[in-house]
Structure 1
Amino acid sequence: MITSDQIRAARALIRWSAEDLAARSGVGLSTIRRMETAEGIPSASGKNLAAVQKALEAAGVLFIQENGEGPGVRLRKNLTLDMFAGSGNAAPEFQRITARDDGLVIVTNPPYPSRKK
């Protein structure tokens, strides 16, 4: 099972808002917020926890289980994630997040790739 700390960290790692996670997982926003404020493993239904985990994993997050140092998250190696991100009333902007083999995470704002006709 994933913890509330892992959910918050995963969302921050891929720069998703709680609203983004709710939309991508199909779980209600108020449920996401309750999950993230819980201590340890959220008391949400197994179905909702699985949906949140699946959505975050599809975006490239790996969940690291307790290994003596505590549970954690990281991005898959050699992963590039293209997305739109914005906050508040600001217009979303295109971002590319790349996790390299050496563990470095790079966030850039390249021009949005156009579709070839």
Structure 2
Amino acid sequence: MITANQLRAARALLNIDQRQMAELAFLSVPTIQRMEASDGVVRGNVDSLMKLVSALENAGIELINPGVASSTGGRGVRLREHVTTPKLKTVRQQKLSSSRALERAR
């Protein structure tokens, strides 16, 4: 499980905004906003939560849950070493290409 605080902290470590997080996770911006507005553990459908956690892990974020080896034992996030910036251009280029193709088809 991921908390709203972990999600916000992960975005801060990646230096991305909610729109970019939505693109990485293939979710909508309102979904990310609702997740971050949650009190405590993020609530959402299983598919959305899996997309979110997967996107964070692929971007180099390691979620620290209670009971996991940590200096203080609490929840948190950390950035894995040797991680590059998340690849947002690929997602944007795919969306642009498909929207341009639709415009040409009209």
* TM-score (norm: length of structure 1): 0.65
In structure 2, the residue matched to 1:76 is 80
Question: Which residue number corresponds to residue 16 of structure 1?
Answer: 16
> Which aligned runs of 4 or more in structure 1 are off by greater than 6 angstroms?
none
Task: Give the gaps of 5 or more residues in structure 2.
Answer: 89-106
- 16 and 64 in structure 1: CA distance in 2 versus 1, 3 angstrom threshold: same
Higher share in strand: 1
Equivalent residues in 2 for 1:1-117, closer than 5 Å: 1-67=1-67, 69-77=73-81, 79-82=82-85
Structure 2 Cα separation of the partners of residues 80 and 25 of structure 1: 17
- Normalising by structure 2, what TM-score? 0.71
TM superposition shift of 1:80:
3.2
> Aligned-pair RMSD on alpha carbons?
1.9
Which runs of 5 or more residues in structure 1 are unaligned? Answer: 86-117
Q: Which has the higher contact order (CA 8 A, sep 6+)?
A: 2
